[in-house]
């Protein structure tokens, strides 16, 4: 095994591939993090306040969430990539460890985002689709001598996160599924799709009513999860695994209300896309010949930087830059213009040989680059156009009065950017000490495997057979050590059990709860939380759904815990809907549902169509909460 790992690592290190997939994955990961931070900002008082709006224990939470959003946004666009990746990783750990976000509002994907965030720190995330590449290009200050950054990486940068963050996760999840009766019956996807709390607004009843198809999907998931770790790196299986995995997680995103989990997993599949697909896509989207020729002053450092910046964002290769001093004579449209006048403006010629200058050149650049066309249309709006033209004229004329030289530009060469972790470890240490590096990386992989094995055995095996094993000092000691290891591996690496939607969660889950309120005119209305059919309404998805469906309302409802979350929901949404919490009455409703481990036709529709009964009441009087619920649920 050790020799196999050493050879595999050395072979992967020697194989250089485009960094396109890693760059796109970085951006998608950052976007998912940003949307989750915006979600936390919206539900700030519900998640972090002991009593929403009334008892604010963490007043600085929004400020730190905004700082986190800045780091995640920088990661998305690839600005100071490694620094922003480290900041994002630390913010995620801090919020999951030191706030109620993890205890009561587990998003179901926090540990996964922590694990992938840790890997991003050590990946070459700045080599594709990043502003860090632009910062590197600007060190030249000369468009003709533009220094292109490295855009390739070792294939190991793709394999490691896929093996550990997806392969280990899938295998652990598959082990847990073996103990669930409905998964063994092939109904692992069908059962949660029939529970009102877990479904989105998309009606998939037609699909759920095809029993053989549902069983095929259930067994396919189990086979897929067991085999992924052994097959994902083989070229023969890459495309089938990509299509199956992406299809399954797209289905989760669309049909369940845990879309952040589905999106996070789906983003990882950009690392599975064959490199030939990216090249084919580039050939389809990029122009074979430019649509616009732009002429710039080769002697002006500021003009060179402008050309470098525009060229960086011209991802479809629509713009070609030509030096005025070298190429102006070859274009008849420019020959009629005085040579001194040519240097006062930025000129461009399109494919129809039409000449534009000044602000119109920038408008044409924005228009020809396609994805920036809306900005070009905005600049054409009367008023905006005239203000922008005046500003452009001021800058252009000022450049002539005070010619720019290298001394007026940032001194980037004397302060080179520090090497990131990937460059230090993989491009430096691994190249110079190949065998030693492969031995050390092998040890790290084995340690991560053992940490994952500890989690899988602890929760997937021993936790389930523990009732049959009598307590003794040996088992107690092993359990204590295992728990301690799990605490650290889960917190800092994201290794956690993936026992999702198993029998011990759905067995006995035969009742759901909704909340209505009395309006000022005495009418009973539904709080914008649970729909009249029992679904959890948007935007109460993700971690708010997890709080209600996995903690507050379960097969074994704890009265005090339920009252706590009814208090939080009524305080939050009561304030959002404009209710006066000095005197507000809420009606707690219950509805019976069925969660069988054998297939039933139209179970989703039956669970949604069931009648509600009044279970009890909850009241706010002078900002004080009281609940009147039965003792026995």
List the domain range (segments joined by +) for residue 441.
2-274+422-487
Looking up tokens 């998931």 gives: 221
For residue 353, the tally of other CB atoms under 10 A from its CB is: 10
436 lies in the same domain as 399: no
Task: State the pLDDT at residue 479.
Answer: 83
Answer yes or no: is 213 within a domain: yes
Question: b vs e for 475-504, b when ≥16 Cβ sit within 10 Å of the residue's Cβ?
Answer: eeeeeeebeebbeebbbebbbbbbbbbbbe
Q: What is the pTM of this model?
A: 0.93
Asked if residue 281 belongs to a domain, the reply is no
Does pLDDT of 415 surpass 50? Answer: no
Q: Could you tell me which residues are beta bridge partners of residue 617?
A: 587, 628
**In the structure encoding, which two tokens stand for residue 504, read together?**
């011990």
Residue 497 included in any domain: no
* Token pair for 425: 């470890």
Cβ atoms of 300 and 399 within 8 Å: the answer is: yes
Q: How far is CA 332 from the centre of its chain?
A: 51
Which of residues 360, 380, 408 is at a domain's end? 408
Residue 513 covered by a domain: yes
Alpha-carbon dihedral sign for residues 292, 297, 303, 305 = positive
The CA distances from residue 510 to 29, 607, 615, in Å, are 37, 10, 15
Residue 512's Cα: distance from chain center in Å?
A: 30
CATH number at residue 293: 3.40.30
Please tell me whether residues 379 and 450 are part of one structural domain. Answer: no
pLDDT of residue 180 exceeding 60: yes
Is 500 a domain residue? no
613 close to 590: Cβ distance less than 8 angstroms: yes
CA-wise closest residue to 188 among 101, 256, 276:
256
**What CA–CA distances, in Å, run from 247 to 5, 188, 224, 254, 255?**
31, 16, 12, 11, 12
| Shared-domain flag, residues 449 and 371 | no
Percentage of residues of the chain with pLDDT beyond 90 = 68
Cβ-proximal residues to 168 (8 Å cutoff; 6+ apart), any chain: 229, 448, 449, 452, 495
The pLDDT value recorded for residue 447 is: 94
What is the token pair recorded at 424?
């230090």
Last residue of a domain, one of 408, 435, 455: 408
Locate 586 and state its tokens: 């809420």
pLDDT band at 195 (very low <50, low <70, confident <90, very high): very high
Residues 478 and 514 in one domain: no
Cβ-Cβ contacts under 8 Å for 389 (sequence gap 6 or more): 358, 359
| 489 has pLDDT over 90 | yes
Total structural domains within the chain? 3
Q: Are 6 and 143 within one domain?
A: yes
* Domain boundary pick from 386, 408, 430: 408
What is the pLDDT of the chain when averaged over all its residues? 90
- Strand 292-296 versus strand 319-323 pairing type: parallel
Q: Are 197 and 258 in contact (CB under 8 A)?
A: no
Q: Tell me, what's the pLDDT at 352?
A: 87
Q: Say yes or no: 465 and 521 in one domain.
A: no
Residue 409 has pLDDT above 60, yes or no: no
Residue 558 lies in a domain: yes
User: Is residue 323 exposed (0-12), middle (13-18) or buried (19+ Cβ within 10 Å)?
Assistant: middle
pLDDT of residue 633: 66
- Binned at pLDDT 50, 70 and 90, residue 369 comes out as very high
- % of the chain with per-residue pLDDT over 70: 96
The predicted model gives 568-572 an average pLDDT of: 97
Q: What is the mean pLDDT of residues 284-291?
A: 91
pLDDT tens digits, one per residue of 114-163? 999 999 999 999 999 999 999 999 888 788 888 788 899 999 999 999 99
Task: Out of 152-161, 281-290, 431-440, 446-455, pick the least confident.
Answer: 431-440
| Residue of higher predicted confidence among 505 and 531 | 531
Count CB neighbours of 223 within 10 A.
12
DSSP, residue by residue, 361-409: HHHHHHHHTSTTHHHHHHHHSTTHHHHHHHHHHHHHHHHHHS---GGGS
- Per-residue confidence (pLDDT) for residue 400, from 0 to 100: 65
User: Is there a single domain that holds both residue 314 and residue 349?
Assistant: yes
DSSP code for 129: S
* Tokens representing residue 341 in the block: 């006048």
- Between helix 259-268 and helix 235-255 the angle, nearest 10°, is 160
- pLDDT of 464 > 90? The answer is no
| Residue 518 pLDDT greater than 60, yes or no | yes
Residue 452 confidence (pLDDT):
94
pLDDT at 414: 46
- pLDDT-derived band at 32, boundaries 50, 70, 90: very high
Q: Which helix (H) or strand (E) holds 380?
A: helix 373-380
Helices (H), 148-270: 156-161, 168-177, 181-184, 205-208, 211-231, 235-255, 259-268
Looking at the DSSP bridge assignments, the partners of residue 585 are: 619
Please write the tens of the pLDDT for every residue from 314-336. 999 999 999 888 887 788 878 77
Residue 408 pLDDT: 53
566 pLDDT band, cuts 50/70/90, is: very high
The helix/strand/coil state of 358 is coil
Average pLDDT of span 447-474: 82
Degrees to nearest 5, angle at CA 226 with 220 and 230: 120
Instruction: Clarify whether residues 293 and 267 are in a common domain.
Output: no
Residue whose entry in the numeric block shows the structure tokens 């632009």: 134
Residues 125 and 158 in one domain: yes
Q: Which pLDDT value is given to residue 121?
A: 96
In a shared domain, residues 42 and 128: yes
Q: Are the C-beta atoms of residues 169 and 498 closer than 8 Å to each other?
A: yes
Residues 181, 125, single domain; the answer is yes
- Do 165 and 253 lie in one domain? The reply is yes
- Give which of 146, 163, 116 is closest to 12, Cα–Cα: 163
Q: Is residue 611 part of a domain?
A: yes
For residue 181, tell me if it sits in a domain.
Answer: yes
Contact 334, 343 (CB under 8 A): no
Helix axes 81-98, 110-122, angle to 10 degrees: 150
User: Is 448's pLDDT higher than 50?
Assistant: yes
């Amino acid at each position: 095994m050790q020799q196999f790992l050493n050879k595999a690592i050395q072979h992967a290190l020697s194989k250089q591939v485009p960094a396109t997939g890693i760059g796109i994955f970085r951006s998608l990961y950052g976007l998912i993090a940003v949307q989750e931070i915006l979600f936390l900002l919206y539900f700030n008082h519900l998640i972090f306040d002991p009593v929403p709006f009334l008892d604010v224990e963490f007043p600085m939470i929004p400020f730190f969430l905004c700082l986190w959003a800045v780091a995640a946004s920088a990661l998305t666009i690839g600005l100071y990539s490694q620094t922003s990746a480290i900041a994002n990783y630390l913010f995620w750990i801090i919020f999951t460890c030191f706030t109620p976000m993890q205890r009561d509002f587990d998003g179901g994907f926090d540990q996964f985002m922590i694990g992938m965030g840790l890997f991003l720190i050590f990946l070459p995330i700045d080599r594709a689709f990043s502003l860090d590449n632009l910062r590197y290009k600007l060190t030249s200050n000369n468009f003709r001598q533009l220094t292109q950054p490295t855009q390739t990486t070792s294939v190991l940068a793709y394999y490691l996160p896929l093996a550990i963050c997806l392969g280990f996760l899938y295998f652990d999840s598959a082990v847990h599924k073996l103990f669930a009766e409905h998964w063994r019956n092939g109904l692992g996807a069908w059962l949660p799709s029939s529970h009102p709390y877990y479904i989105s607004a998309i009606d998939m009843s037609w699909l759920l009513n095809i029993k053989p198809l549902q069983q095929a999907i259930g067994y396919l998931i189990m086979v897929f999860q067991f085999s992924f770790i052994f097959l994902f790196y083989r070229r023969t299986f890459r495309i089938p695994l990509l299509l199956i995995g992406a299809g399954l997680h797209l289905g989760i995103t669309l049909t369940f209300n845990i879309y952040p989990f589905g999106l996070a997993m789906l983003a990882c599949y950009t690392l599975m896309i064959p490199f030939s697909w990216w090249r084919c896509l580039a050939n389809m989207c990029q122009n074979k010949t430019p649509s616009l020729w732009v002429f710039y002053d080769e002697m002006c450092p500021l003009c060179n930087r402008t050309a470098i910046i525009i060229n960086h964002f011209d991802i479809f290769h629509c713009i070609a830059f030509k030096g005025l001093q070298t190429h102006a004579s070859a274009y008849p449209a420019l020959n009629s213009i005085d040579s001194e006048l040519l240097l006062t403006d930025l000129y461009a010629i399109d494919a129809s040989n039409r000449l534009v200058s000044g602000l119109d050149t920038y408008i044409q650049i924005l228009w020809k680059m396609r994805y920036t066309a809306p900005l070009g249309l905005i600049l054409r709006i009367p008023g905006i156009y005239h203000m922008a033209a005046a500003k452009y004229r001021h800058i252009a004329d000022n450049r002539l009065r005070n010619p720019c030289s290298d001394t007026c530009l940032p001194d980037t060469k004397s302060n080179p950017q520090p090497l990131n972790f990937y460059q230090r470890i993989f491009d430096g240490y691994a190249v110079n000490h190949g065998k030693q590096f492969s031995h050390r990386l092998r040890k790290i992989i084995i340690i991560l495997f053992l940490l994952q094995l500890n989690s899988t055995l602890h929760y997937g095996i021993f936790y389930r057979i523990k009732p049959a094993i009598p307590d003794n000092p040996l088992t107690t000691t092993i359990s204590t050590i295992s728990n301690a290891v799990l605490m650290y591996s889960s917190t800092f690496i994201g290794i956690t059990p993936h026992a999702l939607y198993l029998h011990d969660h759905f067995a006995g889950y035969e009742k759901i709860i909704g909340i209505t309120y009395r309006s000022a005119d005495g009418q009973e209305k539904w709080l914008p939380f649970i729909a009249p059919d029992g679904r959890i309404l948007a935007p109460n998805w993700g971690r708010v759904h997890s709080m209600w469906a996995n903690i507050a309302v379960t097969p074994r409802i704890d009265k005090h815990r339920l009252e706590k979350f009814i208090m939080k929901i009524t305080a939050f949404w009561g304030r959002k809907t404009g209710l006066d919490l000095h005197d507000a009455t809420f009606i707690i409703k219950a509805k019976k549902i069925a969660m069988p481990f054998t297939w039933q036709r139209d179970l989703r529709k039956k669970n949604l169509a069931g009648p509600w009964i009044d279970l009890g009441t909850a009241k706010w009087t002078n900002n004080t909460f009281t609940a009147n619920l039965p003792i026995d649920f």
